[in-house]
């Protein structure tokens, strides 16, 4: 049975995982240390007839030490986290893979710009609960919702972003392994929440090109989305 983080398949994924394991080591170590202390004290200082407890109201030096050490560790973690957060949220590697995902109860609508390279035009390729991206190139996604809050969750890519009606939220990731991965919804969005399930396929570059051409051919010219379909 696997219990650790699922297989990671995006460029920034390993950095998130690395941070996770650093925190796990630090908190795990602190947990073992403090719990061991607790149990050891409970055993060593259990009540025995004739022994009186040591009378003390504390020790300022010790207290200062055990305030400063955790504070230092937490400041360090904050800085380490900030650099990864900035990588995920504040960088924007250039790419020509741009798609629009519109969430609704209980469906992920994935829209590719057709040959004109523009979204929301008649030649868009539109898929439901199915997403295809090329390997080794950043994928840019605009997230929109038609009804309630959903959360776009790609566990293997370490991607999670709430999809909020009234907002268009940009995200990106760059896959590092070809294959099929699952898409889930992580924010309660109604009774069908658990069925909001899609598949992401990461293709090697050539295969992706072929897939896109095929999809465009199959889709043919389509009606542009009605103006009132999605919130601006």
Instruction: Tell which positions 143-172 bind another protein, by CB under 8 A.
Output: 147-149, 151, 153, 155-156, 158-167, 169
CB of 19 to another protein, least distance (A): 6
Q: Is 195 in the site for another protein (CB under 8 A)?
A: yes
Per CB under 8 A, the list member of 193, 207, 215, 216 interacting with another protein is 193
Per CB under 8 A, the list member of 119, 126, 178, 186 interacting with another protein is 186
Contact in structure between 150 and 102 (CB atoms under 8 Å): no
Nearer to another protein, 217 or 227 (CB): 227
- How would you classify residue 56: left for phi > 0, otherwise alpha for psi between -120 and 50, otherwise beta? beta
Torsion angle, alpha carbons of 79, 82, 87, 90, to 10: -140
Within positions 44 to 63, which residues make up the interface with another protein, using CB under 8 A? 45-48, 51-59, 62-63
Q: Kindly give, in sequence order, each residue whose CB lies less than 8 Å from that of residue 125, ignoring residues fewer than 6 positions away.
A: 111, 112, 114, 212, 215, 216, 219
Residue 78: which H helix or E strand, with range? Answer: helix 60-90
Q: Is 11 in the site for another protein (CB under 8 A)?
A: no
Within positions 16 to 45, which residues make up the interface with another protein, using CB under 8 A? 16, 19-20, 23-24, 26-27, 30-31, 34-35, 37-38, 41-42, 45
Per CB under 8 A, the list member of 188, 205, 210, 224 interacting with another protein is 188
Within positions 70 to 99, which residues make up the interface with another protein, using CB under 8 A? 70-71, 74-75, 77-78, 80-82, 84-85, 88-90
Smallest CA-to-CA distance from 183 within 123, 219, 130 is with 130
Within positions 107 to 146, which residues make up the interface with another protein, using CB under 8 A? none
CA angle 56, 57, 58 (to 5 degrees): 95
What is the spatial distance between Cα 172 and Cα 32, in angstroms, rounded to a whole number? Answer: 38
């Amino acid at each position: 049975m696997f219990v650790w983080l699922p297989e990671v398949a995006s460029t920034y994924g390993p950095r998130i995982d690395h941070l996770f394991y650093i925190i796990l080591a630090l908190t795990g170590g602190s947990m073992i240390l403090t719990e061991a202390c607790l149990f050891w004290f409970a055993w060593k200082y259990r009540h025995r007839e004739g022994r009186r407890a040591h009378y003390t109201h504390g020790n300022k030096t010790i207290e200062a030490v055990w305030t400063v050490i955790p504070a230092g560790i937490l400041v360090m973690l904050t800085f380490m986290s900030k650099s990864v957060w900035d990588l995920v949220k504040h960088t924007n590697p250039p790419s020509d893979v741009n798609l629009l995902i519109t969430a609704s109860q209980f469906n992920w609508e994935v829209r590719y710009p057709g040959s004109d390279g523009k979204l929301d035009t008649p030649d868009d390729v539109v898929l439901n609960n199915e997403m295809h991206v090329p390997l080794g190139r950043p994928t840019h996604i605009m997230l929109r919702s038609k009804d309630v809050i959903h959360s776009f969750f790609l566990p293997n890519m370490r991607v999670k972003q709430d999809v909020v009606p009234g907002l268009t939220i940009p995200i990106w990731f760059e896959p590092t392994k070809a294959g099929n991965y699952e898409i889930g919804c992580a924010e309660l969005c109604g009774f069908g929440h658990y069925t909001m399930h899609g598949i992401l396929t990461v293709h090697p570059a050539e295969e992706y090109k072929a897939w896109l051409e095929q999809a465009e051919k199959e889709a043919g010219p389509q009606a542009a989305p009605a103006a009132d379909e999605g919130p601006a």
